[in-house]
Amino acid sequence: MAITNVTDQTFSGETNEGVVLVDFWAPWCGPCKMIAPVLEELDTDMGEKVKIVKVDVDENQETAGKFGVMSIPTLLVLKDGEVVDKAVGYQPKEALAEVLNKHL
């Protein structure tokens, strides 16, 4: 499954079912750029079980505000639309995989 960019308007429809990793990011954010290839690898490894979506906080402030995102990257794990886990800042692939596997 490919990583999807979502907006304030499409967020709930894209995240209300199954396990979803949400990456709150911005184009100017250095650590966000560092984590992008990690998310691509995770998508390759776990794409059948986990959906990965990205939310640009500059363009989608309503969704970022709803989840209290204060620093980026913020990664939320949603299961059937409910937040079940959270990580802030750059995370190595192994750490993210461990977090996701807890919720599968």
Cis amide leading into 37 (omega within 30): no
pTM metric for this prediction: 0.97
**14 phi and psi angles, rounded to 5 deg:** -85, -15
Catalytic residue among 3, 26, 29, 97: 29
Is 5 catalytic? The answer is: no
Model pLDDT for residues 9-22, shown as the tens digit of each residue: 999 999 999 999 99
Sorting pLDDT into bands at 50, 70 and 90, what band is 75?
very high
Catalytic residue among 32, 35, 64, 77: 32
Is 29 catalytic? The answer is: yes
Q: Residue 74 and residue 64: Cα distance in Å, rounded?
A: 10
Model pLDDT for residues 28-40, shown as the tens digit of each residue: 999 999 999 999 9
Position 64 scores a pLDDT of 98
pLDDT higher than threshold 80 for residue 1: no
